[in-house]
Amino acid sequence: MPTIELSKKDLYELIGKKLNQEELEEDLLLVKGEIDAEEDDLIKVEIADTNRPDLWSVEGISRDIKTKYGGKNPSYSKLKKSGVVVKVDKNLKNIRPKTVCAVIRNLNITPDVLSQMIQLQEKVCETFGSKRKEAAIGVYDLHKITSPITYKAYNPKELKFIPLEFSQEMDLARILRSHPKGIEFGHLLEGCDKYPIFIDTVGEVLSMPPIINSNHTGKVTESTRDIFIECSGFAFKYIIPALNVIVTALVDRGGDLETVEVIYADKTIVTPDLKPKTVKIKLEYIESRMGLELGKKKIIKLLEEANYSIKKESKGVLELNYPAYRQDIMHPADVCEDVIIRYGFNNIEPKTPYMVTEQSILKINSFSSEVANIIIGLGAQEILSYTLNNKENLILNMNLKEAKVVEIENPVSKNWSVFRNWITPCLMEFLSKNTNKEYPQQIFEIGEVVLFDEKAETKTKNPIRIAWAKADKKADFTHAKQALDFLMNNLGLEYEIKETKHDSFIKGRVGKVYVKGKAVAYIGEINPVVLENFGLNMPVCVFELNLTDILNEV
């Protein structure tokens, strides 16, 4: 969860009201924030919402608080043309092909503005931008740039410039090899024979994204008044929200936002586009989800405080506009959550449900607990990981060419973009983060996976599985079979293993497990390629068993 450092004085000026300590702590709940540390005027606020990069700065926090006191936020949709043009080279296709840009003029850059701009830039790139892979942001002094700007690919030795905070000119290859940012982020350009560069019409280099700005154009100070901003990556669904978050924060600081014409080989776009987005929701849905009868007037007031505007209202259905910097609204439930937050969770009185139910534990849950207790008897430690994962972990790192996985249509982060189709990759990731701990390491996890099922109403099914792994210099197929024997004997189940092929495992040391003729598990030794992908230098043996399938056999 992002932690934001800010000045209370700066926050109060943006809100338009000085808050006492109690009011501050209460109002931070509107942005799912909590004070983590405090020293004089500076506070660190932990934001619990990882889907709202627009809240990762004092501007975003104040934007959601000031409306409680009748404050108004700027309009972002009516923009002038800057006259700045960016031409995108088609040869960037397999390197870093996309960019969106903006210009901010008449900005008064105080120390607070500068620190918040840098902090927001870093937070967005680190978290939302997957450590600059999906979105990297560059900010430049516009007066040192001559339009048109070209975004193109250069050979590693073809071009030289002085990187930010350096005094010596370097070629692109040396920057990756010697500059601290090149060393840290150089892997993002690994395998590329050319590197991306922003360069203006007189040959002044702006930056080599996603690595480093130039020291000349890319150094913004308190004397800078007009700035050029670019965001680069691979997909508009990441770089457009990232740009919108940065520019709206600077508009809140009094800057004048202007558009940039970005010319691609097959199209021309004008960015940023901050026209409000639209969502529809029923008043009845909001009240039913909250369990409160607030009435239309109260709901509309709370929505307006949450920075929604009413576009249209008909027969109990609200058509709402919401700001372009919000990219987390994917369902009416997200709107309902905003209403509840504005109403205040602490203002909702708990009530005993009227429905009479008979308590019982689901059979699969009881069975899972039994299995967990058995495996703990082996000395294994239980872990818990997320059902959401990413293709890199589930497929590429597991040495698989392809696999069918259920994907999120509009993922907020690439790290959490698909549902896991097996648990073993989660165990491998856990082991990869504990290489500095003592061996042997023996772990297991019991949880859901999500698989395709055309017969189901949702076209998916969620079986419960157990995955067990042991990392040790002596870990092999025999260790995995001994662990599986221990479990199956305690469950009173007979099984057989048939040799199979699976690219995640060592050839000849992997098998399928069958119970009464039905395949219910994989067992084997992890392929060295997979171990290398996860940064492991110890052999690992595993089995993964479908508990849902064997539930009726015990």
| pLDDT, tens only, 482-538 | 999 999 999 999 999 999 999 999 999 999 999 999 999 999 999 999 999 999 999
Any idea what the CATH number is for the domain that residue 525 is in? 3.30.930.10
The whole-angstrom separation of Cα 211 and Cα 202 is: 22
Same domain, 426 and 546: yes
Mean pLDDT confidence for 230-243: 94
| Residue 531: inside a domain | yes
Query: Which residues make Cβ contacts (< 8 Å) with residue 100, sequence separation at least 6?
Result: 230, 231, 236, 239, 240, 243, 262, 269, 271, 272
| Residue 134: inside a domain | yes
Return the pLDDT at 408. Answer: 86
* pLDDT value at 76 more than 90: no
Same domain, 98 and 220: yes
554: tokens are 């015990």
Q: Is the peptide bond before 97 cis (omega within 30 degrees of 0)?
A: no
Q: Which of 89-93, 157-161, 238-242, 291-295 bottoms out in mean pLDDT, i.e. has the lowest?
A: 291-295
Same domain, 388 and 301: no
Mean pLDDT confidence for 108-127: 93
Same domain, 134 and 205: yes
| Residue 351: inside a domain | no
The alpha-helical segments, DSSP class H, found in 8-91 are: 8-15, 21-28, 58-66
Return the pLDDT at 290. Answer: 87
Same domain, 484 and 549: yes
Give the bridge partners for 269, in sequence order. Answer: 262
Q: Measuring CA to CA, which residue among 461, 479, 478, 462 is closest to residue 470?
A: 479
44: tokens are 């660190």
Give the bridge partners for 197, in sequence order. Answer: 152
Give CA angle at 229 (227, 235), nearest 5°: 175
Is residue 201 within 8 Å of residue 209, measured between CB atoms? Answer: no
298: tokens are 């109260």
Domain-terminating residue out of 23, 39, 69: 69
Any idea what the CATH number is for the domain that residue 267 is in? 3.50.40.10
Is residue 264 within 8 Å of residue 88, measured between CB atoms? Answer: yes
Query: Which residues make Cβ contacts (< 8 Å) with residue 265, sequence separation at least 6?
Result: 88, 90
Same domain, 156 and 230: yes
197: tokens are 């560069």
Q: Is 182 exposed, middle or buried (0-12, 13-18, 19+ CB in 10 A)?
A: buried
Tokens 């308190």 found at: 222
Same domain, 285 and 267: no
Mean pLDDT confidence for 91-112: 95
264 phi, psi to nearest 5 deg = -100, 170
* pLDDT value at 356 more than 80: no
Position 345 confidence tier, pLDDT thresholds 50, 70, 90: confident
Position 422 confidence tier, pLDDT thresholds 50, 70, 90: very high
Same domain, 446 and 326: no
| Residue 433: inside a domain | yes
Domain-terminating residue out of 42, 69, 96: 69
Is residue 547 within 8 Å of residue 465, measured between CB atoms? Answer: yes
| Residue 355: inside a domain | no
Same domain, 334 and 368: no
| Residue 353: inside a domain | no
Position 16 confidence tier, pLDDT thresholds 50, 70, 90: very high
| Residue 414: inside a domain | yes
| Domain count along the chain | 4
The whole-angstrom separation of Cα 168 and Cα 170 is: 6
Any idea what the CATH number is for the domain that residue 309 is in? 3.30.56.10
Tokens 């702590």 found at: 25
Domain-terminating residue out of 225, 240, 271: 271
Return the pLDDT at 302. Answer: 94
Query: Which residues make Cβ contacts (< 8 Å) with residue 231, sequence separation at least 6?
Result: 99, 100, 101, 135, 136, 137, 138, 239, 240, 242, 243, 246
Name the percent of the chain lying above pLDDT 70.
100
Q: Is 314 exposed, middle or buried (0-12, 13-18, 19+ CB in 10 A)?
A: exposed
Is residue 81 within 8 Å of residue 259, measured between CB atoms? Answer: yes
* pLDDT value at 358 more than 80: no
* pLDDT value at 78 more than 90: no
Return the pLDDT at 361. Answer: 84
* pLDDT value at 1 more than 80: no
67: tokens are 């409306």
**Core vs surface per residue 400-416: b (16+ CB within 10 A) or e:** eeeeebeeeeebbbbbb
Q: Measuring CA to CA, which residue among 192, 200, 90, 96 is closest to residue 140?
A: 200
pLDDT in tens, 385-413: 999 999 999 999 999 988 889 988 777 77
Neighbour tally for 114: CB within 10 Å? 14
Q: How many alpha carbons lie under 13 Å from residue 367 in its C-beta half-sphere?
A: 18
pLDDT in tens, 253-304: 999 999 999 999 999 999 999 999 999 999 999 999 888 888 999 999 999 9
* pLDDT value at 51 more than 90: no
Is residue 44 within 8 Å of residue 37, measured between CB atoms? Answer: yes
pLDDT in tens, 128-186: 888 999 999 999 999 999 999 999 999 999 999 999 989 899 999 999 999 999 999 99
Same domain, 265 and 321: no
Is residue 100 within 8 Å of residue 270, measured between CB atoms? Answer: no
| Residue 354: inside a domain | no
Same domain, 398 and 445: yes
Q: Which domain holds residue 450?
A: 363-553
Largest CA-CA distance found in the chain, in angstroms, rounded: 78
The whole-angstrom separation of Cα 243 and Cα 273 is: 10
Position 214 confidence tier, pLDDT thresholds 50, 70, 90: very high
pLDDT in tens, 435-468: 999 999 999 999 999 999 888 888 899 999 999 9
Query: Which residues make Cβ contacts (< 8 Å) with residue 530, sequence separation at least 6?
Result: 397, 398, 399, 428, 504
DSSP letter string over 274-305?
-PPEEEEEEHHHHHHHHT----HHHHHHHHHH
Name the percent of the chain lying above pLDDT 90.
82
Position 360 confidence tier, pLDDT thresholds 50, 70, 90: confident
Return the pLDDT at 204. Answer: 95
Same domain, 292 and 166: no
The whole-angstrom separation of Cα 127 and Cα 414 is: 10
Mean pLDDT confidence for 90-98: 94
* pLDDT value at 543 more than 90: yes
Which DSSP symbol is given to 407?
B
Position 75 confidence tier, pLDDT thresholds 50, 70, 90: confident
Is residue 236 within 8 Å of residue 204, measured between CB atoms? Answer: no
The whole-angstrom separation of Cα 506 and Cα 399 is: 11
Query: Which residues make Cβ contacts (< 8 Å) with residue 215, sequence separation at least 6?
Result: 162, 163, 164, 165, 166, 167
The whole-angstrom separation of Cα 252 and Cα 248 is: 6
